[in-house]
Amino acid sequence: MSRAVDRLPLTGADAFLLAFDAETRRRNRASHLSQVVLRLGPGFAPDAFARVLRKVVDANPILRAPIRRRAVVGQAEYRLDLAPGAGGPAFELHETNAPPPGDWDAPVVLPELFAQRLNELHPDGRAGLLRADAVRYADGRTDLALTWLHMLFDGWGSERFVEFLAECGAGARTPDAVPEADRPGAPPLRPALP
Protein backbone atom coordinates (compact mmCIF):
# COMPACT_ATOMS: atom_id res chain seq x y z
CA MET A 1 0.00 0.00 0.00
CA SER A 2 1.52 3.31 -1.05
CA ARG A 3 1.34 6.38 1.12
CA ALA A 4 1.07 9.87 -0.29
CA VAL A 5 4.24 11.90 0.03
CA ASP A 6 3.73 14.93 2.23
CA ARG A 7 7.31 16.25 2.26
CA LEU A 8 9.67 16.47 -0.68
CA PRO A 9 13.32 17.54 -0.18
CA LEU A 10 14.57 20.37 -2.36
CA THR A 11 17.01 19.40 -5.10
CA GLY A 12 20.41 21.07 -5.25
CA ALA A 13 19.10 23.38 -7.98
CA ASP A 14 16.04 24.23 -5.87
CA ALA A 15 18.25 25.05 -2.87
CA PHE A 16 20.50 27.25 -5.03
CA LEU A 17 17.54 29.14 -6.49
CA LEU A 18 15.93 29.52 -3.07
CA ALA A 19 19.19 31.00 -1.70
CA PHE A 20 19.51 33.26 -4.74
CA ASP A 21 15.92 34.46 -4.26
CA ALA A 22 16.62 35.16 -0.57
CA GLU A 23 19.72 37.19 -1.47
CA THR A 24 17.87 39.10 -4.20
CA ARG A 25 15.06 39.78 -1.73
CA ARG A 26 17.52 40.95 0.94
CA ARG A 27 19.64 43.20 -1.27
CA ASN A 28 17.17 44.44 -3.88
CA ARG A 29 13.71 44.05 -2.36
CA ALA A 30 12.73 41.93 -5.33
CA SER A 31 12.34 38.25 -6.13
CA HIS A 32 13.93 35.99 -8.71
CA LEU A 33 10.89 35.78 -10.97
CA SER A 34 10.45 34.60 -14.54
CA GLN A 35 7.74 35.38 -17.05
CA VAL A 36 6.40 34.22 -20.37
CA VAL A 37 4.10 36.42 -22.47
CA LEU A 38 1.71 35.14 -25.11
CA ARG A 39 -0.02 37.26 -27.74
CA LEU A 40 -3.49 35.80 -28.24
CA GLY A 41 -6.28 36.49 -30.69
CA PRO A 42 -9.88 37.44 -29.98
CA GLY A 43 -10.85 33.82 -29.22
CA PHE A 44 -9.12 33.79 -25.81
CA ALA A 45 -11.67 32.90 -23.11
CA PRO A 46 -10.44 34.27 -19.77
CA ASP A 47 -12.99 32.37 -17.64
CA ALA A 48 -12.12 29.05 -19.29
CA PHE A 49 -8.40 29.77 -18.85
CA ALA A 50 -8.89 30.59 -15.15
CA ARG A 51 -10.78 27.29 -14.64
CA VAL A 52 -8.08 25.23 -16.38
CA LEU A 53 -5.31 26.99 -14.46
CA ARG A 54 -7.11 26.34 -11.16
CA LYS A 55 -7.67 22.65 -12.01
CA VAL A 56 -4.02 22.13 -12.97
CA VAL A 57 -2.75 23.85 -9.81
CA ASP A 58 -5.23 21.96 -7.61
CA ALA A 59 -4.15 18.64 -9.15
CA ASN A 60 -0.42 19.38 -8.73
CA PRO A 61 0.31 20.48 -5.15
CA ILE A 62 3.99 21.20 -5.92
CA LEU A 63 2.74 24.33 -7.72
CA ARG A 64 1.61 25.83 -4.40
CA ALA A 65 3.49 23.90 -1.69
CA PRO A 66 5.24 26.11 0.86
CA ILE A 67 8.91 25.48 1.61
CA ARG A 68 9.77 24.84 5.24
CA ARG A 69 12.74 23.53 7.23
CA ARG A 70 12.34 20.76 9.78
CA ALA A 71 14.63 22.63 12.15
CA VAL A 72 16.64 25.84 12.05
CA VAL A 73 19.49 24.10 10.22
CA GLY A 74 17.55 21.21 8.69
CA GLN A 75 17.08 20.52 5.01
CA ALA A 76 14.39 22.61 3.34
CA GLU A 77 11.41 20.69 1.96
CA TYR A 78 8.37 21.28 -0.17
CA ARG A 79 5.50 20.75 2.26
CA LEU A 80 2.89 19.10 0.06
CA ASP A 81 0.73 18.48 3.14
CA LEU A 82 0.39 22.27 3.57
CA ALA A 83 -0.38 22.94 -0.10
CA PRO A 84 -4.20 22.86 0.21
CA GLY A 85 -4.14 25.93 2.45
CA ALA A 86 -1.47 27.77 0.48
CA GLY A 87 -3.82 29.39 -2.01
CA GLY A 88 -3.95 29.05 -5.73
CA PRO A 89 -2.85 31.00 -8.73
CA ALA A 90 -3.94 34.58 -9.06
CA PHE A 91 -5.50 35.47 -12.40
CA GLU A 92 -6.57 38.98 -13.28
CA LEU A 93 -8.13 40.22 -16.48
CA HIS A 94 -7.33 43.87 -17.23
CA GLU A 95 -9.59 45.30 -19.93
CA THR A 96 -8.72 48.44 -21.82
CA ASN A 97 -10.49 50.46 -24.49
CA ALA A 98 -7.15 51.20 -26.08
CA PRO A 99 -6.09 49.48 -29.28
CA PRO A 100 -3.16 47.05 -29.06
CA PRO A 101 0.17 48.85 -29.24
CA GLY A 102 1.57 48.97 -32.77
CA ASP A 103 1.36 46.33 -35.45
CA TRP A 104 0.23 43.06 -33.85
CA ASP A 105 2.83 41.05 -35.77
CA ALA A 106 5.75 43.41 -35.10
CA PRO A 107 7.81 43.50 -31.90
CA VAL A 108 6.10 45.93 -29.54
CA VAL A 109 6.40 47.17 -26.03
CA LEU A 110 4.41 44.95 -23.70
CA PRO A 111 1.98 46.33 -21.13
CA GLU A 112 3.73 48.07 -18.24
CA LEU A 113 1.80 45.81 -15.86
CA PHE A 114 3.90 42.84 -17.00
CA ALA A 115 7.15 44.63 -16.08
CA GLN A 116 5.65 45.53 -12.69
CA ARG A 117 4.75 41.89 -12.03
CA LEU A 118 8.22 40.73 -13.02
CA ASN A 119 9.83 43.18 -10.58
CA GLU A 120 7.52 42.61 -7.60
CA LEU A 121 8.61 41.14 -4.31
CA HIS A 122 7.19 37.65 -4.20
CA PRO A 123 5.33 36.91 -0.95
CA ASP A 124 7.17 34.73 1.56
CA GLY A 125 5.99 31.19 2.02
CA ARG A 126 5.47 30.61 -1.73
CA ALA A 127 1.74 31.33 -1.57
CA GLY A 128 0.74 32.67 -4.94
CA LEU A 129 4.00 31.54 -6.54
CA LEU A 130 2.32 31.47 -9.96
CA ARG A 131 0.14 34.25 -11.31
CA ALA A 132 -1.42 35.15 -14.62
CA ASP A 133 -2.43 38.54 -15.96
CA ALA A 134 -4.26 39.19 -19.21
CA VAL A 135 -4.63 42.56 -20.90
CA ARG A 136 -7.54 42.52 -23.35
CA TYR A 137 -7.58 45.31 -25.93
CA ALA A 138 -10.57 47.02 -27.55
CA ASP A 139 -10.42 44.71 -30.60
CA GLY A 140 -10.56 41.56 -28.42
CA ARG A 141 -6.91 40.57 -28.79
CA THR A 142 -5.10 39.74 -25.56
CA ASP A 143 -1.60 39.73 -24.09
CA LEU A 144 -1.29 37.02 -21.42
CA ALA A 145 1.61 36.96 -18.95
CA LEU A 146 2.41 34.03 -16.69
CA THR A 147 4.79 35.07 -13.90
CA TRP A 148 6.30 32.62 -11.42
CA LEU A 149 9.06 32.17 -8.88
CA HIS A 150 11.99 30.96 -11.01
CA MET A 151 12.60 27.88 -8.87
CA LEU A 152 9.18 26.59 -9.95
CA PHE A 153 10.41 26.05 -13.50
CA ASP A 154 12.89 27.39 -16.03
CA GLY A 155 12.37 28.44 -19.66
CA TRP A 156 11.98 24.85 -20.89
CA GLY A 157 9.64 24.06 -17.99
CA SER A 158 7.53 27.15 -18.66
CA GLU A 159 7.10 26.12 -22.29
CA ARG A 160 6.05 22.66 -21.17
CA PHE A 161 3.67 24.17 -18.62
CA VAL A 162 1.99 26.35 -21.26
CA GLU A 163 1.66 23.29 -23.53
CA PHE A 164 0.19 21.34 -20.60
CA LEU A 165 -2.36 24.09 -19.89
CA ALA A 166 -3.35 24.14 -23.57
CA GLU A 167 -3.74 20.35 -23.67
CA CYS A 168 -5.86 20.37 -20.50
CA GLY A 169 -7.97 23.21 -21.88
CA ALA A 170 -8.55 21.27 -25.10
CA GLY A 171 -9.48 18.12 -23.16
CA ALA A 172 -6.47 16.22 -24.55
CA ARG A 173 -5.25 15.33 -21.04
CA THR A 174 -6.42 15.58 -17.47
CA PRO A 175 -4.82 18.07 -15.05
CA ASP A 176 -3.34 15.27 -12.93
CA ALA A 177 -1.84 13.31 -15.87
CA VAL A 178 1.94 13.09 -16.03
CA PRO A 179 3.01 14.23 -19.51
CA GLU A 180 4.12 11.29 -21.65
CA ALA A 181 7.60 12.72 -22.17
CA ASP A 182 8.11 12.81 -18.38
CA ARG A 183 7.48 9.08 -17.96
CA PRO A 184 10.53 6.80 -17.65
CA GLY A 185 11.64 5.42 -21.02
CA ALA A 186 9.45 7.81 -23.03
CA PRO A 187 10.93 9.37 -26.17
CA PRO A 188 12.03 13.00 -25.89
CA LEU A 189 9.39 15.62 -26.53
CA ARG A 190 11.49 17.08 -29.36
CA PRO A 191 14.43 15.81 -31.33
CA ALA A 192 17.89 16.58 -30.00
CA LEU A 193 19.74 19.41 -31.67
CA PRO A 194 22.65 18.39 -33.92
Number of domains in the chain: 1
Q: In 3D, which of 89, 161, 156 has the Cα closest to residue 126?
A: 89
**Are 6 and 79 a contacting pair, CB within 8 Å?**
yes
Mean pLDDT of the chain: 79
Q: What is the pLDDT of residue 185?
A: 53
188 inside domain: no
The whole-model pTM stands at: 0.79
194 inside domain: no
Instruction: Report the C-alpha gap between 66 and 77 in whole angstroms.
Output: 8
186 inside domain: no
Q: Region 148-169: what's the mean pLDDT?
A: 85
Domain enclosing residue 17, as ranges = 7-176
Q: How far is CA 92 from each of CA 113, 117, 185, rounded to the nearest angstrom?
A: 11, 12, 39
Q: Does the structure show a pLDDT above 50 at 17?
A: yes
Q: What is the pLDDT of residue 187?
A: 45
Instruction: Report the C-alpha gap between 50 and 16 in whole angstroms.
Output: 31
183 inside domain: no
CA 155-112-86 angle, to 5 degrees, is 55
What sections of 29-149 are H helices per DSSP?
A: 46-59, 112-118
Instruction: Report the C-alpha gap between 104 and 175 in whole angstroms.
Output: 32
185 inside domain: no
User: Confidence class of residue 192 from pLDDT cuts 50, 70 and 90?
Assistant: very low
| Model confidence pLDDT, tens digit, residues 99-118 | 776 666 666 668 889 989 88
Pairing of the two strands 130-136 and 90-95: parallel
Q: Does the structure show a pLDDT above 60 at 127?
A: no
187 inside domain: no
Q: What is the pLDDT of residue 194?
A: 36
Stated as kind and residue range, the H or E segment containing 164 is helix 155-169
Q: What is the pLDDT of residue 184?
A: 52
Q: What is the CATH number of the domain that holds 57?
A: 3.30.559.10
Q: Does the structure show a pLDDT above 90 at 85?
A: no
Q: Which of 66-75, 114-123, 177-186 has the lowest mean pLDDT?
A: 177-186
Concatenating the DSSP letter of every residue in 141-157 gives -EEEEEEEETTT--HHH
**Are 173 and 167 a contacting pair, CB within 8 Å?**
yes
Q: Which residues contact 131 (CB under 8 A, 6 or more apart)?
A: 89, 90, 91, 92, 117, 146, 147, 148
Strand partners for 134: 93, 144
